A and B are shown apart, each in its own frame.
Chain A
């Protein structure tokens, strides 16, 4: 088994949307079902969290600036760690990720450490 980090990105528009409580619950349900679905691939999500908007950037001169600081229109919204057999499995799971339905994307990176 290997560990993969899933990094979720959304467009700024999606990030700044204000859904109604009912829509929030729907979104949570959709995500919950997707994460449960990893089990059918013999994989499992461990830890992760969402990220608050904004942030700080410290450069090599020690200058601190406020986010958003990336040129790209996309914002990292959160991350998870998935334990799965292979990249193929991780990709298969990511293809159903709810973030894609909102026009966002998932980056998958294998963790370098062992176990």
Chain B
């Protein structure tokens, strides 16, 4: 997977998907490591400059046989030129004449492993307590995924101005910390790993959750999160059961990504998805990672991967082991008792023990849903529908509809309401 992604296709007139975005991020990491995070802006300018040069030349001259090293060389030279100019200026200013010997280093080679290491160091640099979590995510998208500000804004549903503000704040922190990614010890890596995993997890959820109507950017966010998780799960410094479980969880979910919407972009419930379209190779890959995750303490990633795997490996919606899923949700509550987890547990209970038991669980948590009440009311609508209480179901769905601003969710709820008007359906047995 990694090999294929970073290599150019055989067709020399084409770059692999997202080559520029990923190479941009890799070069930022590699050069930030060479020149220090305190020169982050210089590094970003140099990498940007290299890409602009490529944009001028490659379309007309052709893509060079090794586009990665080409960009690296140009970016490196741009950064060096800039530093030398600065240095000369400073040495004139201080009446000194000696050039800093550290800038005489030979042109460093473009080394695949070293760049991977640099990227990993960069991730760990972005994830520290001193930078607010929301800025960490923006910074991760910018420096690790090569997203532009406009793309970050679309992904996180915030304004471009807000993105810029978060980035500035994060970079100021980085500079003031005088952080040196090269100085990270094994202990630092261990201490920060949970935070890095949390950021990757957050990225994935931003992409996977249905609140963002921009389908393309959501899929790209999920892809990026999987890429980071793969890096964590494969690299000797960061691999381990937690990283493996995190990757497995993402792969299980990602395998169903394409089938969650129908041709017209409407959201489909799990039971209505075409299981033959799920990516079974990805599910198998997820299965291999979950095996590697088995030794060690279970974490929330393990439990979530377990739940996702139950869905992914059930032959049909009817074959789902709801008993195990309820069990898994009970366990998940120990790690995360947030309203959304409780809600999903109530839905699982309704599947396993019947709607009456589901109602009980649902009613017990109603008071917790102040800001995201539409999720609760949508579930209540579904329960009422299954009981055949159509007018009650309609009331709930309409309430939910009035509470959400996401077009995807609105379309889904309208479809649910339309279902209530279809007389040939026996409401006691909703369509699977």
Contacts and interface: CB of A to CB of B under 8 A. Distances in A.
A22 B151 contact: yes
Interface of B: 13-15, 18-21, 23-24, 48, 51-61, 63, 146-151
A50 interface: yes
The interface size bin for chain A is: 20 to 34
Nearest to A22: B21
Nearest to B146: A21
A21 B60 CA distance: 18
Given A21-B24, A22-B148, A25-B20, A48 B52 contact: no
Contacts of B63: 28, 32
Interface stretch (A63-71, A77-85, A107-115): A77-85
Most chain A CB atoms below 10 A, which of B19, B52, B63, B151: B52
A-B residue pairs, 4 tightest by C-beta: A20-B148, A50-B56, A31-B59, A21-B20
Contacts of B56: 50-52, 77-78
B107 to A, nearest CB: 20
A18 B44 CA distance: 12
B24 A29 contact: no
Contacts of A28: 15, 20, 54-55, 58-59, 63
5 contacts: A8-B60, A22-B148, A25-B19, A27-B59, A31-B59
B61 to A, nearest CB: 4
A21 B53 contact: no
Contacts, number: 82
A101 interface: no
A25 B59 contact: no
A13 to B, nearest CB: 15
A47 interface: yes
B150 A20 contact: yes
A18 B52 contact: yes
Most chain A CB atoms below 10 A, which of B21, B56, B59: B59
Q: Is chain B's interface secondary structure helix, strand, loop, or mixed overall?
A: helix
A103 interface: no
A24 interface: yes
A102 to B, nearest CB: 12
Interface of A: 8, 18-25, 27-29, 31-32, 35-36, 47-52, 77-80, 98
A19 B24 CA distance: 12
A97 B160 CA distance: 32
Nearest to A32: B13
A64 B252 CA distance: 64
B61 A47 contact: yes
B151 A19 contact: no
Given A36-B13, A51-B56, A77-B56, A22 B18 contact: yes
A49 B55 contact: no
Contact of A50 (B18, B19, B57): B57
Contact of A52 (B13, B19, B53, B151): B53
B147 A20 contact: yes
A48 B56 CA distance: 11
Contacts of A31: 59-60
B148 A23 contact: yes
B151 A20 contact: yes
B6 to A, nearest CB: 14
A39 B59 CA distance: 16
A50 B20 contact: no
Given A21-B24, A22-B21, A50 B59 contact: yes
Contacts of B18: 22, 25
